[in-house]
Amino acid sequence: MRLIFIFSALLMSSACQKQAVITPQKPIEQPLSIQQLIAGIEQCQADQTCLAELNRYFNELAEQAKVEAALEPELPEANEANTQQPLTTDTSAIPQLNEPLLNNVRIQAALNEWLTWKRPKLIEAWQNYQFLKNKIWPPFAQHDIPESLLLAIITQESGGRVHSMSSAGASGLFQFMPATAKRFGVRGTIGDYDARYHPETAAKGAASYILEQQGLYGNDYAKILAAYNAGENRFKRLNNKHNNQSVWESQFFYDLPSETQDYIATVLSAKLIYENPSAYNVVLEEHDDATTLIRAKNDTSLSELSVCFGQHNNTMGWYRILRNLNSSIKAKRVIKQNAVVVIPAELKPIYESKCNDPQLMGLAKTIHDADFPDRPVYTWYKIRQGDSLSSISRKFKCTSKREIAQLNQIKAPRYLINTGKKLKVPKC
């Protein structure tokens, strides 16, 4: 058909050249009979312009044949790939935009962030959760709080990093403020840190908080999250002001702090993804979360061990996992010989085979020590009226009342301090 069209066009072109006074008309594509085709070829052979166009056309066909011949070994694979099923064949698995949450433009915008530039945070939080699940999921499961909500909260709050802290003083996986933590039983110190950094204790507190809010708002997770972010008392007043209507109503929504507005949509959109990751083209691979205990053969640190373990079965490395599993140990802390360390069970063979290599571990120690150069290990703090060792330890976030007392030879249990005196306080 293409050849027929070319001959028709060339014949018209030849005629136009002979009758230049006639205005050219766009040729109409009509099938030619065999007799017309033969006559056209004979006429074209007698016309140099037409013959040149015909030769060019056949040269192009020859070049195309060469290209196809060169690609021929790849064609079967391409054809085979074309016969495979598409990634998603069950369209019922794809979320429909008429679902209440997905019909919300704020949720849609937050989903776009999670599925584009924030996707690495989503994946990292999931990987961290694999080794935290047996510590933090039980209190949520006990109260039938969705696992997807737990995951969404820690993803946004801390990225699944046990030692996360904010400039406002919120700390731990669930970013508890000191007063809220105390109210829900997240108290005391465990090792080098206060209880907010202890996964099991913090998870019990967070589950209790959500359970309390469910008593007020049922399973309206938008309101529960608003209370979690803005403060339960503040949100309760706003909810009463707006007669307990939906938080998405414009007047109510824009009465919330701007941070809370973003927080609700961000956490709920992450919850949707965790509920059905494949529907959003997200792959969340489960990891063997078994752990084991080892005794340090030599003085070491978590960072030195992470250098030793490298990227074995984990492209992101093991430092964060090691810190989460050993939540009571500071990053710079020297782990003494024979001390117990928790590691993923799959890394034990690596520890036995690689972590005794003098060259590798010598390098690991050198770069660890360089990360904490010589500097004062404490700072001075002038005691103010109303201060206590507990309140001072909270101000410095990564120390404890007991540690400050030992450094300043203050005796328990009263821990008496005097206004105006100076204390040595450990630096983070």
pLDDT of residue 80: 41
Boundaries of every domain in the chain = 2-73, 105-280, 291-371, 378-426
Contact 185, 208 (CB under 8 A): yes
Measured in whole angstroms, the distance separating CA 417 from the mean position of its chain's CA atoms is 45
Tokens for 369? Answer: 């020590």
d(CA 348, CA 340): 13
Cα atoms in the 13 Å half-sphere on the side-chain side of 214: 12
Is CATH 3.40.309.10 the classification given to domain 105-280? Answer: no
For helices 48-71 and 34-45, angle between their N-to-C axes, nearest 10 degrees: 110
pLDDT of residue 394: 80
d(CA 205, CA 304): 33
Tokens for 326? Answer: 């050993």
Complete DSSP assignment for 44-59: HHT-HHHHHHHHHHHH
pTM, entire model: 0.67
pLDDT of residue 74: 42
pLDDT of residue 243: 96
pLDDT of residue 110: 97
Q: Which fold has domain 378-426?
A: Membrane-bound Lytic Murein Transglycosylase D; Chain A (3.10.350)
pLDDT of residue 32: 59
Cα atoms in the 13 Å half-sphere on the side-chain side of 275: 12
Residue of 128, 179, 178, 185 whose CA lies nearest to 151: 128
Amino acid at 41: I
d(CA 184, CA 91): 44
CA dihedral 359, 362, 367, 370 (to 10 degrees): -150
Complete DSSP assignment for 121-152: HHHHHHHHHHTTHHHHHHHHHHTT--HHHHHH
Measured in whole angstroms, the distance separating CA 419 from the mean position of its chain's CA atoms is 46
Tokens for 268? Answer: 């709920």
- pLDDT by residue for the chain (428 residues), tens only, comes to 555 555 555 455 544 444 444 444 545 555 656 666 667 777 777 777 777 776 777 676 666 666 566 554 443 443 343 333 333 334 455 665 556 788 899 999 999 999 999 999 999 999 999 999 999 999 999 999 999 999 999 999 999 999 998 878 899 999 999 999 999 999 988 888 899 999 999 999 999 999 999 999 999 999 999 999 999 999 999 999 999 999 999 999 999 999 999 999 999 999 999 999 999 999 999 888 999 999 999 999 999 999 999 999 999 999 999 999 999 998 888 899 999 999 999 999 999 999 989 999 999 999 988 876 655 567 788 888 888 888 888 877 777 788 888 888 888 877 888 888 888 887 65
Tokens for 363? Answer: 């390098």
